[in-house]
């Protein structure tokens, strides 16, 4: 075994993680917005 093979490879993808959180935040915002619009337009009596 060569000396360089002992080190573990790390996955380095910070841009992908940022994109995932951006889309997650976008879908959560849309979900909350849709519920608030539905609550305004369809009141419970």
Place of tokens 């841009």: 15
Please report the pLDDT score of residue 9 as a whole number: 75
Distance of alpha carbon 24 from alpha carbon 16, whole angstroms: 12
Which DSSP category does 2 fall into? Answer: -
pTM over 0.75: no
Q: Give mean pLDDT in consecutive 10-residue pieces for the chain, a chain of 45 residues.
A: 65 86 98 94 81
**Structural tokens at position 4:** 């360089």
Which DSSP category does 35 fall into? Answer: H
């Amino acid at each position: 075994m060569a000396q360089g093979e002992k080190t573990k490879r790390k996955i380095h993808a910070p841009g992908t993680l940022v994109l995932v959180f951006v889309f997650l935040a976008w879908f959560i915002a849309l979900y909350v917005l849709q519920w608030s619009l539905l609550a305004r337009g369809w009141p419970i009596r």
